[in-house]
Amino acid sequence: MNNDQLKAAFDAMHADDELADRALSRATSGKKPRRRGAAKPLAAVVAGCVAAVLATSGVAYAVANSDFFAQAWGDHGQGRTRTWSFLGDDGSTISYKRDFGDGTAPVELSEAVEHVGLSVEGNGYTLELGDIAADENGCGSVTFTLSNPNGVALYEPAAEAGELVLSGAEGEQTLDLITLDFGDEDDESTRAFADTREMIEKESSTKTEVHGTMYFAGFGGEVDLEKGLTWVLNWHEGDGNDTKQYTAKTQRFNPSKRVASKTFTSSDGVEAKVSPFSVQISADPVMSDSIRKVSLVLKDGTEQVIVDDGVANNYFGLIRDENVAWVSTRLIDPDSVESVHVERRILDDNGGEPQLLSITLE
């Protein structure tokens, strides 16, 4: 694949959904997680990412100095708030805003961090896994370093926006994708796949060594974590009908710790599980597809928005069989949450304007 072909492919792809599909393309179960939110062309998202740094308040609790949280739950050198715009299909301008955290965490949360310490080499690249923390919603993050003495081939527009997207361009040392698998590759009854997004630490990364964080969520929730985690380098050689796919993988890592979540319920039985890393809403597929807004109403009267029209305070959202989960871009203090606010967009059977249905979970 040459550079022009690569650019054309990324210009046509959808940032959220297609990146997830690439990561899960080897799945044999026939079921793939779906990301929340309207699909947006990656070129539009990346090219339109013009940073606007604004002051945002941090979470008000006792904090500890932690390299892990400073990296995984900071702003990645992108600024505390980022805004971007792109043109919709009807020619209108669509604007988005994303708030990052300040990298501080409560002292007790540091106890949930584990060191992975695994590495794998493939086609000139070395992937080293650092520290990891995961929650009861089956979501989490892990720090990593990806290096190549001849240079890490990135898709530069995505890198400028802070996201690690490997170029996969034709050459002697290509790398297409880093994936995260659960379970045993040789046992289809246990094997599962994660949805992931990788962010780059802009200030500490170089041309030959990229420091970053992988955010992940399993299709099966916490059950997937119990199967063990394996990180995989994916690359190819040749082109067209002569293309050959290759992989190299780490040994399996079994995380022994889980960050607890706090449960909120509505009068009609909808359940939300809020952890410091993620928000999970129990919902059937119809309800999942109709969710427009999820926010946390805090005891001090403020609101921490996870997703809304024009707000994307999450790395991605994952639709599962019985729930949908979002990995937050800011740490959450579950004990400071008074209620969870959910809005659904209900379509009018007669073709009228969609109606909003609000749900409060306490």
Closest CA to 249 of 165, 155, 184, 167: 184
CB 16 within 8 A of CB 33: no
**Degrees, nearest 5: CA angle 338-70-199:** 95
Closest CA to 333 of 101, 97, 81, 76: 101
pTM for the model stands at: 0.83
The Cβ of residue 225 has, within 10 Å, a number of other Cβ atoms equal to 25
pLDDT at 3 (0 to 100) = 40
Low-confidence ranges of the chain (pLDDT < 50): 1-33, 36-62
Tens of pLDDT, residue by residue over 193-203, are: 999 999 999 99
> How many Å separate Cα 60 from the centre of its chain?
24
CA 334, CA 306: separation in Å to the nearest integer?
13
Q: Spell 182-216 as b/e; 16+ CB within 10 A means b.
A: bbeeeeeeebbbbbbbbbbbbeebeeebbbbbbbb
Helix (H) or strand (E) holding 343: strand 337-346
Q: Which CATH number fits domain 108-249: 2.60.40, 3.40.50, 2.70.98, 1.10.10?
A: 2.60.40
pLDDT at 9 (0 to 100) = 36
CB 180 within 8 A of CB 134: no
pLDDT at 265 (0 to 100) = 97
pLDDT at 5 (0 to 100) = 38
